[in-house]
Amino acid sequence: MNVSKHLMFASTLLSAMSLTLSSCDDNDWADVDGAAPGMNLDIEAVHVEPGMDITIKGKITDADGISTISLSCPELYLNKTIDIIAIYGEPLKEYDLDYTVQTSRHAEGENFIVTLTVTDVGGRTEVKEFGANLDADFTEPYFNAKPGEEITVLIKNETRIKLNVDISDNRVVDYMELNLKKVANGTETQVDGFPVRIEGGEKRLTYQAAVPVPNEPATYKAYITAADRAVQDPAHVITSESTINVMELPNFDAIYLADVASASDLNSDLFGVPIAMDHVGDYKYRVRYYNEKAGTEICFLGQKTDFGPICFAPSKENANELGDDPDEVNKIKLDKAQTYYEFYVDTWNRTYTMRDYAVADAINPVMHMHYGQDELNTWWDFSVPDPWWQEFYFGPGDGPGNIMRMEQDNKNPNIFYCYNMDLKAGEDTNFMIHNWHSHGWWNFVTWRSESKVEPSKFVYYGNLHPDCDKFTGNADYFDWKYGSMDPEEYSYQYPNAGAFDINKWGDENYRKNFIGDNWVKTPVTTTGKYTFKIDLHTERGWMYLQ
């Protein structure tokens, strides 16, 4: 046996294996076609709103094998390399690219170039550039202020329809067009000087006019159209239609207390601003209001969405008389902080009165109970020597047991807040105010609203509580709310109730004489986190974006 020949063969075989392995380790992949990589991206330019992500998708191919894919755009802080061999252990002949570029930190400007470079195992590259444009507009404009769906203009020596339009867009309001027509016998006739078109170019566009009309009862229609300025998509168009009644002073179903400064503030909350006043007699209105800060200025409006055409406040010419033109009145300034005020307004006689009183003198239906303590009687049975008490708290709820806990204000025990209510645009709210209960029991304490869609007033709808060893009952609330009310105001507000009988309160049909069993179902226009606030003394509620 020739040992040396066998040793030489083994040595040659090992050397060949070593060369082969060394070749694999050095990624010496064989060429197939020697061509540059191919890209099927179908992207020339992409348009998004600032802050939105850009997603780059497509198929990348190379017969020899893809080594790396790089994306670069310094202005967008983009410098990404996808190392195919490091990730998969070998080059790929096909790769489905799906990469997201964040634009939230983009530099000044809107138009950028993203460079996509693909390199194969032979070192050949293919480069493609496409525009990344942060100039899109997927959001429609919105009205900060506009005429309400139905408004009243009072006949005067010189009658004018005052129009106030305020429109915003996240990028650019392109234009606004306002048309005004007179309606008679089912026919609409163009008012001279209309339509009016106002060109935009900024994020906000405003228009104000005082249109003279004959001093006679009549009906007009106001039509508003506005659009934004889209780059690559059709413009978003919004519209508004209002009926304007020119007449003598009407007996409004409600007038509103406004404590904000602008028309846009009147329209910024989901509900609760301005505050609806109780209609307690012909041309007579009453409201209770908590003034948190000294210096608050208030007035009384004949419409919800704007300060005109009717704004009741002391006349500039005669402070003892209520004027009704927003340009000819002075607002009422409240000089006491953390104080309740009660206002009584007579729009026919053009008078108002107000009085103030301390928080300690205010009453509400659960003021004798202790929020957050074990003061809810589980079975509502006071005959047993040791009732089962549970924690008493309440808040917005959409079913038994599904109750959000409200927080009590540390300066005014009548006020409660519920934070972080997640609401989505296009949906409706769906809740009432109710206590939590481990068995889902409902009427211990609960409140309902006077309107489902546009609530302002939240009236107690829960139980009459007897005195017990835990707390004093709430019969004093019912006496304050209904028993001591002026008989004429009582019969005007509750014409079907008859004289108030506290012994009938347990009958739900009787309670509905005073407040309907209405849950809040207000349409949501803006997605976000909301705060709900309620004052159990004034019986007013608000919901607003945090």
Cα(536)–Cα(480) distance, integer angstroms: 13
9 domain residue, yes or no: no
Amino acid, res. 127: V
pTM: 0.73
CA distance 202 to 206: 11
* In a domain? residue 20: no
In a domain, residue 412? The reply is yes
The CATH number covering residue 65 comes to 2.60.40.10
Indicate whether 499 and 384 sit together in one domain.
yes
Is the domain of 506 the same as that of 372? yes
Instruction: Supply the pLDDT for residue 12.
Output: 40
Q: Could you say which of 197, 214, 247 is where a domain stops?
A: 247
- 421 and 280: one domain? no
CA distance 241 to 146: 9
Q: 354 with 416, same domain?
A: no
- DSSP assignment of 407-419 equals EE-SS-TTEEEEE
Verify that 500 and 530 share a domain, yes or no: yes
Whole-number pLDDT of residue 110: 80
How far does Cα 169 stand from its chain's mean position? 16
CATH number for the domain spanning 351: value is: 2.60.40
Residue 327 lies in domain: 256-360
Domain shared by 503 and 534, yes or no? yes
Query: Residue 209 falls within a domain, yes or no?
Result: yes
Domain boundary among 247, 266, 283: 247
Question: Do residues 187 and 206 both lie within one domain?
Answer: yes
- DSSP code at position 394: E
Q: Are residues 271 and 234 in the same domain?
A: no
For the chain, the first-to-last Cα distance in angstroms comes to 94
What are the tens digits of pLDDT across the range 487-546? 999 999 999 999 999 999 999 999 999 999 999 999 998 889 999 999 999 999 999 999
Q: 319 near 330, Cβ under 8 Å?
A: yes
300 lies in the same domain as 348? yes
In tens, the pLDDT along 69-88 reads 999 998 888 899 999 999 99
How high is the pLDDT of residue 255?
Answer: 96
User: CB–CB of 382/369 below 8 Å?
Assistant: no
Q: What is the pLDDT of residue 107?
A: 61
How many structural domains does the chain have? 4
Do the beta carbons of residue 254 and residue 277 sit within 8 Å? yes
Residues 182 and 234 in one domain: yes
Q: Are residues 260 and 404 in the same domain?
A: no
In a domain, residue 5? The reply is no
**Mean pLDDT score, 143-166:** 92
Maximum distance among all alpha carbons in the chain?
Answer: 134
Rounded average pLDDT over 209-225: 96
402 plus 539 within the same structural domain: yes
Q: Does the pLDDT value for residue 23 go beyond 70?
A: no
Cα–Cα nearest to 51, from 117, 4, 92, 101: 101
* Cα–Cα distance for residue pair 159/92, rounded to 1 Å: 79
| Backbone phi and psi for residue 442, each to the nearest 5 degrees, phi listed first | -105, -40
